[in-house]
Structure 1
Amino acid sequence: MTALPDIPRLYTALAECLAVLLFTPALAPRFSKAVTVGVTLLWAAGLSAFLGLTGDVPGGLWIPCMVTAIGLSYLYLWGVWSITLLEAGYHCSRAFLLAELFASVKWQLHCGLWPSRVP
């Protein structure tokens, strides 16, 4: 069996941002459209920067980094959209599972189709 290299954190960040944003069109925003878009862009940039900067952490710190990423998404959903803490947790867990599935499938396709481009 061939072992695949770790998924680049950029793929994980992109997948997490897109997965969370996939669930937001059905939600009512707390703020005006301009504020919502601004906070969304800041959240996406912050999450991507955090995951990018923690890409080389040792294996033991991977779980705390992912918990922090999930927490940032949870706070974004609860703070920006008119939902309860429980609803934010529900949407956050769905988005996280979808993001991890999407990132792993994309990375497996990448490694299978372009094996010479694997870092």
Structure 2
Amino acid sequence: MGAYLYLALAIAAEVTATVSLRLSEGFSRLGPSVLVVIGYGVAFYGLSQVLKLGLPIGVAYAIWAAAGVALVAIIGVLVFKEPFNLAIAAGLVLVIGGVVLIEAGSGG
């Protein structure tokens, strides 16, 4: 499994865990609470494998964090009916732009 496949796994697991955290209602619901713990465990395992395979930590973490932020924000809007406005859109563009700059600066 390549570094970017592990990174995709880590992102999916982190997003699942974060959404489950919202659904756990303060860890008062068992199913979502279990998904939080498993999801974050899988996310950090995947991220550790990405680093083991040689992807630079700055690039790996930037992609992981930015993708998580963007996906959770989109899920928040679509599933939880959270607000979406120009400021939020601009923030997401800046986060993604930051990752592009980190990737470009790393020579990767």
Higher-RCO chain (CA-CA 8 Å, sequence separation at least 6):
1
TM-score normalised over the length of structure 2: 0.34
| Greater share of residues in helix | 2
